[in-house]
């Protein structure tokens, strides 16, 4: 009898561990370049690297970036569609992967490319519009019309890409007291005080930090302990390290380039993420580079180069690391696939598994619990 109990316990423990290693992968796409329904939900097994399609939306226009609510019940997506751009709220049933549109409102600016949410607000970065827009949440998870619009004004030295302000990202500080926003057009990081409960003045400007002229700040991420910020600049492939203090101030510590020595092709640095254990930093580069660089994060926040690998596709605009840290998935905008890499947790290095998800223009990847 004791042996039977042990066998049953072992089986239960194995089943539980298997269950904990399965997640949903949400993929936002462009719908104007190839056949796509919008947002796709895959079940991903972080033990084997296997996947299966669970569900998708119907006719959601170019949801290029998505953000998940803390309770895992709602999804918020930008609809990147020129002057007709919008923001959509959807209900989300994680077990089935079913998504249902709750409502859609104007993004108040052209081509929104990034957004964040908490229990009170949805905050959007309008790239072509050069603005930030704030939407309040209704009790049912839907969003109000825009309650605050902050317009950036200015330009940079790159006449082709910095002819005006281009807001590329919004990020909460770890304590949610501030929102940081990168403006590619002005070579600045804006720091806003965050007043979550305010009706209209949700964001008030605290200050700005200048970065290298013509570099084009795109995306940043906080270190796991919140003491450092890592910023990648799209136009010249600079990777910048800042220290961060809780008063909302950034101090430049170091700059490096993610380009290999002697590289002369086109560059377009894209996504930057940190592994779940906080030990490694990953950055993708597009155009001719189509690579992902790996850095080990040192105790003092400095970065030690580990390796640079081909992403095995064209246009690695976004990537996601599964919550266990076992796999890193890279979405390619132009080769219409998601390449699945195995991560070595000890070294941070990546190895191609030979597995890939094929779908139209995957440009936003997020893992959620089931």
CA angle 96, 100, 103 (to 5 degrees): 155
Sequence length of the chain is: 370
One pLDDT digit (tens) per residue for the chain, 370 residues? 555 545 445 444 444 445 589 999 999 999 999 999 999 999 999 999 999 999 999 999 999 999 999 999 999 999 999 999 999 999 999 999 999 999 999 999 999 999 999 999 999 999 999 999 999 999 999 999 999 999 999 999 999 999 999 999 999 999 999 999 999 999 999 999 999 999 999 999 999 999 999 999 999 999 999 999 999 999 999 999 999 999 999 999 999 999 999 999 999 999 999 999 999 999 999 999 999 999 999 999 999 999 999 999 999 999 999 999 999 999 999 999 999 999 999 999 999 999 999 999 999 999 999 9
Whole-prediction pTM: 0.95
- Tokens for 265? 């092709």
> Which one, of 75, 199, 79, lies nearest residue 148 by Cα?
199
Instruction: Output the DSSP codes for 6-74.
Output: HHHHHHHHHHHHHHHTEEEEEEEE-SSSS---SEEEEEEETTT--EEEEEE-SS------EEE-TTSSE
The pLDDT, as a whole number, for residue 1 is: 54
Taking the C-alpha atoms of residue 63 and residue 318, their distance in angstroms, rounded to an integer, is 13
Residue 137's Cα: distance from chain center in Å? 21
């Amino acid at each position: 009898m004791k042996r039977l109990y042990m066998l049953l316990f072992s089986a239960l423990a194995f089943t539980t561990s298997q269950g904990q290693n399965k997640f949903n992968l949400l993929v936002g796409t462009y719908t104007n370049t190839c056949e796509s329904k919008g947002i796709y939900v895959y079940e991903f097994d972080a033990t084997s690297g296997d996947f299966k399609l669970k569900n998708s939306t119907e006719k959601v226009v170019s949801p290029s970036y998505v953000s998940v609510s803390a309770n895992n019940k709602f999804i918020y997506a930008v609809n990147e569609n020129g002057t007709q751009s919008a923001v959509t709220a959807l209900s989300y049933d994680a077990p089935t992967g079913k998504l249902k549109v709750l409502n859609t409102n104007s993004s108040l600016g052209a081509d929104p490319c990034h957004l964040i949410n908490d229990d009170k607000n949805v905050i959007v970065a309008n790239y072509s519009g050069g603005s930030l827009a704030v939407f309040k949440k209704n009790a049912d998870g839907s969003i109000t019309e825009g309650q605050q619009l902050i317009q950036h004004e200015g330009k940079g030295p790159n006449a082709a890409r910095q002819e005006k302000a281009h807001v590329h990202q919004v990020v909460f500080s770890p304590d949610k007291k501030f929102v940081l926003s990168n403006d590619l057009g002005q070579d600045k990081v804006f720091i806003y005080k965050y007043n979550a409960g305010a009706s209209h003045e949700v964001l008030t400007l605290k200050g700005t930090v200048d970065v290298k002229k013509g570099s084009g700040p795109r995306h940043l991420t906080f270190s796991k302990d919140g003491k450092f910020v890592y910023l990648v600049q799209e136009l010249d492939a600079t990777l910048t390290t800042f220290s961060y203090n809780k008063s909302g101030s950034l101090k430049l510590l170091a700059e490096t380039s993610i380009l290999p020595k002697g590289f002369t092709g086109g560059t377009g640095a894209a996504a930057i993420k940190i592994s779940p254990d906080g030990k490694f930093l990953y950055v993708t580069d597009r155009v001719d580079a189509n690579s992902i660089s790996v850095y080990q994060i040192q105790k003092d926040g400095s970065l030690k180069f580990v390796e640079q690998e081909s992403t095995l596709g064209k246009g690695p605009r976004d990537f996601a690391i599964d919550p266990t840290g076992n796999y890193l998935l890279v979405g390619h905008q132009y080769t219409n696939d998601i390449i699945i890499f195995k991560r070595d947790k000890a070294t941070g290095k990546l190895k191609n598994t030979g597995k890939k998800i094929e779908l139209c223009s995957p440009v936003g990847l997020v893992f959620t619990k089931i």
